[in-house]
Amino acid sequence: MKRRLTEEPEVAKYIQLPPAKFKTIECAWDPEHLAYYLKAADDFAQIYRDARDSEKKNNLAILLAKLQAVQAALNIPQRGVEGMGPYSGLTSKQRAVLDYLVDLSREGRKGLLYCESPDTVKLLHKELKARGIKTVQFHGGISIKARVKAKDEEFINGDAHHLLCTKASARAGYNLPMCDEVIFYDRSWSAKTEGQAMHRPMRVERKEPVTVVYFHLPGSIDIYQDQMVKFKADAAKAGLDWAAPELEDEEFLHLSTVLQNFVDDLAKIHNMTPSAMREILKAA
């Protein structure tokens, strides 16, 4: 089957979609959250470095478990990670996303928010309810019949302001042209996942462009995932659609390099050596 794109002249004669607008919002770290996150990140980096330096083969299962711990420490630390208790309070990213959704509601605009964990959906739903903002939860902890019913009755045809989804439950198969903005609370490892998710509102019924918003914490795994998604999307366009690669001159940074650079940058800010900064972070 031939892959068809809306930009092709033969398709564009019949379908015209306004191009999406993209923006990234960087959130300043809370010191307490930074220390919590770096404990998990340093644990992952140390296991990787030890295996690399000893020329032993990395245990993929252990690495994936540690990587999932890094993601949890960054995006839903209230759930806790192995060897670390649950994080208390909201993170700067969570507060920024909540404020953003409240502002969207005041403007009369509907948001479609995506995240990885149902726990994040539940947390944001609870906090927004306390602020008087009605949202619909859409995740695997709710039966398909119940969540689709709530989506249709409360969000599409009701007065709910926003639809809060996990990517696994709502990235494909649904038409949501009433959504003005697609908000990624956290990032994916797959360009296909994010591409499918952001296209839910991009339907012929829309006359105005959809805004796609990413929330990042600087130096975190958000940056690595952003890089990976861009490179994968670039490769897919070049391979499937004969598009000219846009990132062929850019260097792809390994995750351990991203983490190392982050620690080095922190050390420079505080006029310390990287090794001294690591010792402080470990003791934090």
Phi, psi of 31 (to 5 degrees): -55, -40
Q: What is the pLDDT, as a whole number, of residue 270?
A: 46
Number of domains in the chain: 1
Lowest mean pLDDT among 59-68, 89-98, 125-134: 59-68
Q: How many residues does the chain have?
A: 284
Is there a domain that residue 9 lies in? no
CB 262 within 8 A of CB 221: no
Q: Is 54 exposed, middle or buried (0-12, 13-18, 19+ CB in 10 A)?
A: exposed
How far is 278 from 275, CA to CA, in rounded Å?
5
How far is 101 from 116, CA to CA, in rounded Å?
18
Q: What is the pLDDT of residues 61-94, one digit of tens each?
A: 666 677 788 899 999 999 998 888 899 999 999 9
> Which of 72-86, 120-134, 270-284 has the highest mean predicted lDDT (pLDDT)?
120-134
* Cα Rg of the chain, angstroms: 20
Q: What is the pLDDT, as a whole number, of residue 9?
A: 59
Is there a domain that residue 4 lies in? no
Is there a domain that residue 1 lies in? no
Give yes or no for residue 184 having a pLDDT over 90. Answer: yes
Is there a domain that residue 2 lies in? no
- Bridge-based pairing state of the strands 111-115 and 162-166: parallel
Closest listed residue to residue 47, CA positions, set 39, 37, 59? 59
Q: What percent of the chain has pLDDT over 70?
A: 68
- Bridge-based pairing state of the strands 211-216 and 181-184: parallel
Section 198-207 average pLDDT: 85
How far is 279 from 135, CA to CA, in rounded Å?
43
Is there a domain that residue 81 lies in? yes
Phi, psi of 239 (to 5 degrees): -80, -40
How far is 273 from 284, CA to CA, in rounded Å?
17
Is there a domain that residue 158 lies in? yes
CB 29 within 8 A of CB 98: no
Is there a domain that residue 97 lies in? yes
Q: Which residue has the higher pLDDT, 66 or 272?
A: 66
Is there a domain that residue 11 lies in? no
Indicate the pLDDT class of residue 206, thresholds 50, 70 and 90.
confident
Residue keyed to tokens 């019913």? 149
Phi, psi of 88 (to 5 degrees): -95, 130
Closest listed residue to residue 160, CA positions, set 103, 110, 104? 110
User: Partners of 23 in the beta sheet?
Assistant: 213
Question: What is the strand order of the sheet 111-115 is part of?
Answer: 21-26, 211-216, 181-184, 111-115, 162-166, 135-138
103: domain CATH number?
3.40.50.300
Token duo for residue 115: 């995240």
Q: Which residues contact 81 (CB under 8 A, 6 or more apart)?
A: 40, 69, 72, 73
Residues spanned by the domain of 207: 23-284
Token duo for residue 15: 């379908």
